[in-house]
């Protein structure tokens, strides 16, 4: 994300990644406006007798919308924002949809200064854009899965398998077939990744140790880190993130911090008890100044309908600064985030047990 202009009630931003689209979808919500280049059909060009709307010429213009709704699918390349046209050469007052894509420039404005949580999310997105992209390959004898660790999630990119349609244990295990399988994966990875992207090879057993020298022999000069995990599949990728097994590579990624804090919360639930969840417990913890870190989904933090102690979540969370508590805005695009969602979308790490 490139911030081109930053004012208390106006941000101008260049979108540079899918993570940026995720952030913009949270910032651009009802009550704010968004402007960017778009196109509309100019009915004055439909001919003297007046033609059908589709015969009118489409013109490129700067269009500002008062936002009504937005639609974004995880790891999609586009964000759709619907609203009413506030500023444009034509059609003021009509509905329009902006389709925001990577490398677009957008301007978000608000009638009041942006909330501190929005400002923090913007800063996090700007910082995340400077973090190196990391590839994570889960390696097993008969299956390999390539993920990308982004600032806001764990994105599966490709899967290669030589498992048949029979029972899971009925696998092709001859050395020639296994070698051919590894070569095909290496060719696919070489075509997909440039040498600047570091890679984590993880998984149970020794399959990753066999693959590493073959990667080197094929010309891969990238930084590669071997990490042993107790399981395979997506669970292996989550183990690397939750246990900080590659902290030297992933320490700058927001997802790494989120997952480690969430795992700490689940551990405390069964040990020290210095954790709070549920609206009653959370409000008591805030009142007593016991909250050290609040982990809350970015969507719940911007929910203007759900309430806690008679306040909306955005208003209630403003009290955290009074007790010097940290707030971490979590994504639900990884397994730990989904677990947080199952807990109501918010949990607090406490300074002491209530």
**C-alpha span between 333 and 175 (Å, rounded):** 37
The fold of the 2-41+58-128 domain, in CATH, is SH3 type barrels. (2.30.30)
pLDDT confidence bin for 113, thresholds 50/70/90: very high
CA 292, 297, 301, 307 torsion: positive or negative? negative
Closest by Cα among 37, 19, 183 to 105: 37
Say whether pLDDT at 129 is over 80. Answer: no
Q: Taking the C-alpha atoms of 296, 297, 298 and 304 in order, what is their torsion angle to the nearest 10 degrees?
A: -80
Q: Say yes or no to pLDDT of 94 above 60.
A: yes
Burial of residue 70, with CB atoms counted within 10 A of its CB: 0-12 exposed, 13-18 middle, 19 or more buried? buried
8 A C-beta contact, residue 207 and residue 178 = no
pLDDT at residue 47 in the model? 55
> Quick check: 215 pLDDT over 90?
yes
As a whole number of angstroms, the distance between CA 88 and CA 40 comes to 10
Phi, psi of 96 (to 5 degrees): -155, 155
Measured CA to CA, the distance from residue 350 to residue 325 in angstroms comes to 10
Residues 6+ apart with CB under 8 A from 316: 283, 286, 308, 309
Q: H or E segment at 215?
A: helix 207-217
Q: Which residue has the higher pLDDT, 250 or 230?
A: 230
Q: Checking DSSP bridges between strand 134-139 and strand 199-203, what pairing results, if any?
A: parallel
With a pLDDT cut of 90, the percent of the chain lying above it is 60
pLDDT of 149 higher than 90: no
pLDDT at 252 over 80: no
Q: Compute the mean pLDDT over every residue in the chain, rounded to the nearest whole number.
A: 88
Cα–Cα distance between 235 and 251 in angstroms, integer? 19
Neighbours of 106 (CB within 10 A): 22
pLDDT of residue 98: 95
Query: Rounded mean pLDDT of 152-163?
Result: 85
Spatial separation of the C-alpha atoms in residues 231 and 279, rounded to whole Å: 36
Most confident of 46-60, 98-112, 124-138, 147-161: 98-112
Provide mean pLDDT across the span 237-243.
Answer: 88
Question: What residue ranges of the chain are covered by domains with CATH 3.30.1330.30?
Answer: 258-350
**Comma-separated ranges of CATH 2.30.30.870 domains in the chain:** 2-41+58-128
Query: In the predicted model, what is the mean pLDDT of residues 275-304?
Result: 95
- 202: pLDDT strictly greater than 90: yes
pLDDT for res 68:
94
Cα first-last separation, the chain: 41
Task: Calculate what percentage of the chain has a pLDDT beyond 70.
Answer: 92
Q: What's the pLDDT tens digit per position in 9-50? A: 999 999 998 889 999 999 998 889 999 999 988 776 655 554
Q: Is the pLDDT of residue 142 over 80?
A: yes
pLDDT higher than threshold 80 for residue 188: yes
Longest dimension (CA), the chain: 78
pTM of the predicted protein model: 0.77
Say if CB 178 and CB 141 are below 8 A apart: yes
Q: What is the pLDDT of residue 51?
A: 47
CATH of domain 134-252: 3.30.420.60
User: Is the pLDDT reported for residue 169 higher than 50?
Assistant: no
Instruction: Residue 249: name the closest of 123, 137, 121 by CA.
Output: 137
Between 41 and 296, the higher pLDDT residue:
296
Q: Provide CATH 3.30.420.60 ranges for the chain.
A: 134-252
Residues 81 and 48: beta-carbon distance below 8 Å: no
What's the pLDDT score for residue 54?
Answer: 58
Spatial contact of 177 and 162, defined as CB atoms under 8 Å apart = yes
Name the pairing type of β-strands 153-161 and 346-350. Answer: unpaired
Which residue has better confidence, 328 or 44?
A: 328
CATH topology assigned to domain 258-350: 60s Ribosomal Protein L30; Chain: A; (3.30.1330)
Q: What is the pLDDT of residues 53-83, one digit of tens each?
A: 556 688 899 999 999 999 988 777 899 999 9
């Amino acid at each position: 994300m490139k911030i081109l202009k930053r004012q208390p009630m106006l941000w101008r931003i260049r979108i540079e990644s899918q993570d940026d689209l995720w952030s913009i979808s949270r910032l651009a919500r009802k009550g704010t406006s968004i402007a960017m280049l778009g196109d509309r059909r100019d009915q004055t060009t439909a001919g003297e007798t007046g033609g059908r709307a589709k015969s009118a010429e489409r013109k490129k213009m700067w269009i500002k919308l008062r936002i009504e709704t937005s639609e974004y699918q995880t790891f999609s390349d586009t964000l759709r924002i619907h609203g009413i046209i506030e500023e444009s050469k034509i059609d003021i007052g009509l509905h329009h949809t902006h389709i925001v894509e990577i490398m677009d420039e957008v301007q978000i404005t608000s009638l009041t200064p942006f909330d501190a949580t929005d400002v923090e999310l913007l800063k996090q997105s700007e910082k995340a854009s400077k973090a190196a992209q990391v590839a994570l390959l889960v390696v097993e004898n008969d299956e390999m899965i390539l993920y990308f660790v982004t600032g806001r999630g764990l994105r599966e990119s490709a899967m290669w398998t030589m498992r048949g349609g029979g029972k899971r244990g009925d696998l092709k295990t001859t050395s020639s077939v296994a070698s051919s399988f590894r070569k095909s994966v290496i060719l696919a990875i070489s075509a997909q990744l440039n040498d600047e992207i570091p890679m984590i090879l993880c998984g149970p057993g020794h399959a990753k140790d066999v693959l590493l020298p073959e990667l080197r022999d094929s010309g891969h000069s990238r930084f590669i880190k071997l990490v042993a995990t107790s399981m395979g599949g997506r669970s292996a990728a989550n183990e690397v993130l939750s246990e900080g097994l590659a902290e030297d590579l992933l320490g700058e990624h927001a997802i790494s911090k989120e997952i480690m804090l969430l795992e700490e919360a689940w551990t405390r639930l069964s040990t020290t008890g210095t954790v709070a969840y549920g609206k009653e417990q959370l409000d008591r913890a805030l009142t007593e100044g016991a909250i050290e870190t609040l982990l809350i989904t970015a969507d719940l933090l911007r929910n203007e309908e759900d309430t806690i102690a008679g306040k909306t979540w955005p208003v209630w969370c403003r009290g955290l600064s009074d007790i010097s508590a940290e707030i971490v805005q979590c994504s639900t695009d990884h397994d730990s985030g989904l677990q947080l969602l199952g807990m109501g979308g918010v949990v607090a790490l406490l300074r002491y047990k209530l």
